[in-house]
Amino acid sequence: MSVDDLVLTPTGLLFAGRRFSCTIGRGGVSLDKREGDGATPAGSHRIMGMYYRPDRLRGADLPFWAQPIGLRDLWSDDGADPEYNHLVRAPHPFGHEVMRRADPLYDLVMITDWNWPRAVPGRGSAIFLHRWRRVGYPTAGCVAFDPRDLLWIAARVKLGARLIVRG
């Protein structure tokens, strides 16, 4: 392991000498992740990008490689889509998630390389690091944090750092 790694443990996420409370998927940790199972996949997943809402995070201390979420940005979660598990733009004829949500859940999102860039339909779409709905509320498979902690992590994480999830 490297000092740049983010390590998910049963008691939280370890990063940069600190422990952060977080929530994971409602299906727990899985060694056999499938679309819709609500599980967080075990393994080593690289941080491949960061997106943020510039209208909501103006002045935030984010790395140079963070990209603003555009008005038409979507994430394909439809296994029949040739662009499955990739950022796409509206209008988009396949199933997708809106990246620029009305709620603050995706105000800041770190993208992992889970089933990306060569996505296999059925293996599960994006595993993001994002803010939680509330303490202890599970995700659909992502790892979620208190918004202040997420911003602290985002300001320090390196592109390519590993999110290590033990099964």
What is the tens place of the pLDDT at every residue in 91-145? 999 999 999 999 999 999 999 999 999 999 999 999 999 999 999 999 999 999 9
129-140 core/surface letters (b: 16 or more CB in 10 A; e: else): bbbbeeeeebbb
- Give the angle 52-36-29 at the CA atoms, nearest 5°: 80
Find out whether 125 and 96 touch, Cβ atoms under 8 Å: no
Q: What's the whole-model pTM score?
A: 0.96
Average pLDDT, the chain: 96
Q: Are strands 40-41 and 29-30 parallel, antiparallel or unpaired?
A: parallel
Find out whether 150 and 36 touch, Cβ atoms under 8 Å: no
The fold of 6-65+103-165 is L,D-transpeptidase catalytic domain-like (2.40.440)
Contacts 24+ apart (CB under 8 A), 67-71: 69/99, 69/100, 69/106, 69/109, 70/99, 70/100, 71/100
Neighbours of 71 (CB within 10 A): 10
Segment 39-61, tens digit of pLDDT: 999 999 999 999 999 999 999 99
Q: How confident is the model at residue 2 (pLDDT cuts 50, 70, 90)?
A: confident
Tokens representing residue 32 in the block? 């056999």
